[in-house]
Structure 1
Amino acid sequence: MIKKAAIYARVSTDDQADKGYSLPSQLDSCRQYIEQLGYSIVAEFKEDNSGAVPVIDRPQGRRLAEMVKFREVDAVVVHQVDRLSRDIVDLLASVRNWLRAGVEVYALDVGKIESELDIVLVIKGWQGSDERKKIRERSMRGKRAKARTGRVIGSRAPYGYDHVRDENGKIVNFEPLEEEAKIVQLIYRWYVYGDESGQRLAAGRIAKRLSEMHISTPGETNPGYHRTRGKGMWHAYTVLSIIERETYAGIWRFGVRIGPTRNQRPKDEWIEVNVPALVDRETWELAQELKGQNKVFSRRNKKYNYLLSGLIRCVCGRAMSGEFFSDHQYYTCSWRNNHHIHLEERVCKARSVRADAIDADVWESILDLFGDLEKLEKQLRIAQQEELAALDPKLEELNAVQAMIAQTEVDAVEIGQALKRAAGLVAKSLEQNMNEVNQRYDALCRRLETLQTELNVTQLTDDTIQDLIEFAQDVFVGIENADFHTKRRNLEMLKVRVEVNNGIFKIDSLAGQISGEIRKLPKAIRYSDDSGGGGVTNSR
């Protein structure tokens, strides 16, 4: 029987630019290799992703891992070891799991891999891992050095600016774009000092004014941004991002975020670069003060609790937010708050839903689920197993890492004993092996700690299930009238998600699915769409 092979090809932008690792070239080489093996190709996986991302966290890598798991392939072929992964632990764990599943693994630069601890594989893996770290470190050192000389580093110019370049075409600073700079200044003037009538405008009002004026948005003037709205349609978030950006006051900062994690660096590590200011420092600081006050007042003005806040969605897929109008609380599709009525075509025409109706419907439906404790626990156990099944890839990696740590400890003992008896060239070689083992052991231990942390965040634990069962028992011995916080806590533990569609609600939860018709309540005061509401769905 002819064996079935799968090809995995991966590129990243740097790979293609620096080494010519194009997807077509990788695929052609792997096809020729498989033809020589006499195998048939049943799948080709092409990926544009960083080698620092674990295999199972890449879309195509996950599909390949699933084929291996269910033995839908007999062999996996990659162009080079680092195409599979540039992370040494991920590389070794993936290869180990695949080999133990009975799948052959080939890399064109090393041939058939017999063991995850094949010395050639380990060396190649460390080369890939070290290269990635060195490239990142060199790049960051160079960028920080340039920033300290007062130069702006790469990336897109903020709205209102263009890049200033030196004689070699390298970016050195920003220069104002007159028309866009006027819009930035107008935004600050409206926000801080008010419009022509002297009334200060909130970010949402500013966004609507700019949209009415058909001013091109930052996403339109700066190519590369993904847009989902029509031309000239501003969002309040865009306005706020301009208001809070200190670049417009003449200070651009480098090194605020840490790589792909986007975590913030300590402020003493930020590098400030002077750039042309579009607004004066006093105006910018007043804007920040007003923005902070608005945030505080917004919290204070939240007079009403919404049981399903963050848990309820419109049939169009957007979240529904709580609002108070016509003397009642409602959930309204967020389309209305994020778009300008009369300026944009209304994509979602769903009506608002009375909160006191849908809240009661959902809670009573959950209580009905609690009526059969045996069925409830069975549903929760099924959901728990599904949650654990989703963690299977990480559990497999955890087992692989633990096994490799144990093997590395054995290797360390053997090298240590051999080193006592060795001398000369042999001793030098053993020292190199010892360094490799130490590096591998440290990397494995770090990965073990990460995996254990990730696996401990499972939400549906035995304790959680027990809490829900105990609550269900309490409900039927006299505490049907649970307070808001008790209801909310249990809805969150059950991972309740509600969808509303034309007077019908559908609940999806760990304890099962329920659907029904939203109850009818006395007719509310009518309002027009011009006032901002989405219509009222609960009326007689």
Structure 2
Amino acid sequence: MTHAATTKRAIIYCRVSDKKQKHDGDGLHSQEHRCREYAASRSYEVEAVFHDDVSGGGDFMKRPGIVAMLRFLETQAHDGYVVVFDDLKRFARDTIFHLKLRQELATYRATVECLNFKFEDTPEGQFVETVIAAQGQLERLQNRRQTLQKMKARLERGYYVFAAPVGYRYEKVEGHGRMLVRDEPRASIVREALEGYASGRFQLQAEVKRFLASHPEYPRDRSGEVRAQDVTNLLKRPTYAGYVEGRNWGVALRKGHHAPLISFQTYRAIQDRLLGKARAPARKNLNADFPLRGAVACGHCGTPLTACWTKGKYLRYPYYLCPKRGCESYGKSIRRATIEGEFETLLHQLRPAPRLFRVARAMFEDLWNQRLATAETSRSGLETELAKIEREVEQFLDRIAQAQLPSVITAYENRIRQLEERKIEISEKISNCGRPLRSFDETLRTSLDFLANPWNLWASERLEHKKAVLKLAFADRLTYVRDEGFRTPDLALPFKVLAEIGCPG
């Protein structure tokens, strides 16, 4: 009798529950080592080893290692392989799929052998096997329930328990355990994307997608793309505003322990835009190529000037022009360099004399105190509104206790959720109300720097800085007459007062 006829051929199957056990532990190698020793003790010839790092519950056809093993058996001309594994629980932890997998292996005339369980082809042996498989399923379901209970309890305490969103990572923090912390530079990228969509800088989700894709640090899917659905999910996450919730577990929105990337007010603005309740500013006000567009009016008809690029023989040229039909300046171009150069000259003329800064300090201090007083009044109004909302929530809770129809209860619960979100928004406003971000001296220094020379801020490359100059230095649109220049501007109050003080006559 030949060696091939007497030696049984075997394959080994090993499994751990997740990738972490695969990388952090030695489970797969330990299982394979014990299975090889078992095979050697019975003179089996091991031809292949198959690994899995997924849960043993559910359909075995979703386990890559099992699928590869079945394909191996299907392609082999030789029948009668022995499938060796370490423990019955490594085979399957779901009774139905345990039995189905046994039937699938039987179609290839493969037998199974386990290091700590003896399979017997008797009614009693099959009964014991089924009981042990059911016990494995019970343990898996109990472990899952216990894990979910712990996760829910931690979520109720304000800790995020799911996979870390882009912009955060988990880190052990003393007194908190594992919790979300900022993950730079992704956190700053996400924050800019969210604030940009809330403000209207990005009008469409497609623009947010392009912005995220422009940063190599932002994660992609397997095909190297930023998916549209990922952008939608990003915009809908209250986690970025510092809040957690678990709707499927009945955990209402609540303040989280992690640091927010955006304010809750910004989060609400994003949700309003997603629901179509808010519109983004018109695109024409966002063009960095023409910062004066929309801020300067035609001196003949009063229509805000538009702007465009025109194509020459070799180059493109930027122009401003009046878009109003019937106006004597309609369609007549004004070189960008001309109008913006004259505007910069106008800014240089706004520099007040140094002796006027003492007056300016007194003015700002009066305004500062007035704003603080107004903030206290606003705070009182917000506290009154908050108390009213809390009473409404109590009333809806009483109605839920008395309601019978599930649809009515659901409607009340949705209304309570809306009120709770409004409470959060008002609470955030109260915490910020009357609390300046910087001291009076710091703010004064910034203000005086701007008053001393507003051109310095205009010289910035950032469009928002240029828009700030137009808003802070002038009370209304500037008026420009083609071939003549700017008319006398309507200055903002600080510059107007300083001008009047500087020219008392």
TM-score normalised to structure 1 length: 0.43
Q: Which has the higher contact order (CA 8 A, sep 6+)?
A: 1
TM-score normalised to structure 2 length: 0.45
Larger radius of gyration: 2
